[in-house]
Amino acid sequence: MKKFNTAIVGATGAVGQEFLKLIEERNFPFGELKMLASSRSAGKKINFMGKEYTVEETTEKSFDGVKFALFAGGAASKLFAPAAVKAGAVVIDNSSNFRMDPEVPLVVPEVNPQAIARHKGIIANPNCSTIIMVMALKPLYNLSKIKRVVVSTYQAVSGAGREGMDELKAQLESLARGEEVVAKILPVAKLDKHYQIASNLIPQIDVFKENLYTKEEMKMVDETKKIMEDDALRVTATTVRVPVYRSHAESVNVEFDDDVSVEAAREALEKFPGVIVRDNPDEMIYPQPLETSGKDAVEVGRIRKDFSIEHGLNLWVCGDQIRKGAALNALQIAEYMIANGLVQ
């Protein structure tokens, strides 16, 4: 099999490390592999598949000979993606920098793979919560056009990066010792005010916008419409940070044009690639973050009629936001391009 030189930008972070795990697990056909990061992380050593790599500082010259540039997130893609494209690389970007650019495809390969071929050098990975939700919505949309979605998310602290996980751990330890709890990261590290997440819920992810929704909530609204290629689709979201280390959960209410039975919904979800139906109320079986962490599939359960509207269903959805919500989705885009001859 042909091999493709690959660069991971942000190799030392949580998503970058997940890229490496998945590249090995999935036997991704890489040739040369570049580990790139900020100047702060340059010089660090990473052992991967029996070889020691030295992390290099990302510069505009980092992408010579690279075919896939996998950006883990943050501001790096805004700074370096154009240079990577100019050097001949396909950029698959996990940040929000290009998601709503009309010239940039926003892709979940199981949902809208047709958009990949329209790329002009950059392909955007959607927001983690959006990916998890549309994996459940797409097979249902195939049964009947969806009119409206109401979603509430329960998002793990790892969505705030390694710092979010470290802060939850430290706060739980402080509570166990009866010591004062220190909060410096959540809800948003760059803001002046922070709240304890241990034994708490925080109904704010990212900053508030003028419309009183958070930036995270509006990402779900806007990105879902773009991925589903349906500007008429109505979406409203409330995003909440919860004291869970990994895997997001979502309560999703869906209103359809036509009636969709629970049985038809379950069958469509069971047949959809990348989705597992875990739904047996009699046995108290349903998706949980503990069970989806470290797994590739999005799990759907609590499938039931919404009796308050004419054509509605309620769902409970869980998925690992670092894997399918970030690194796995990006790698699947690259795999799709290779399998379909979209990259040489």
Indicate which residue of 128, 194, 311, 318 is catalytic.
128
Residues in CB range of 82: below 8 A, 6 or more apart:
none
Catalytic residue list contains 248:
yes
Catalytic residue list contains 194:
no
Residues in CB range of 289: below 8 A, 6 or more apart:
154, 156, 244, 246, 247, 248, 249, 318
Indicate which residue of 119, 194, 248, 318 is catalytic.
248
**Cα–Cα dist 15/18, whole Å:** 5
Give just the sign of the alpha carbon dihedral 105, 132, 334, 74. positive
For 16, counting Cβ atoms within 10 Å of its Cβ (0-12 exposed, 13-18 middle, 19+ buried), the class is: buried
- The full 3-state SS of 13-78, as one line of letters, equals CHHHHHHHHHHHHCCCCEEEEEEEECCCCCCCEEEECCEEEECEECCCCCCCCCCEEEECCCCHHH
Which one-letter DSSP state was computed for residue 106? B
Would you please indicate which residues are annotated as catalytic (active-site) residues? 128, 248
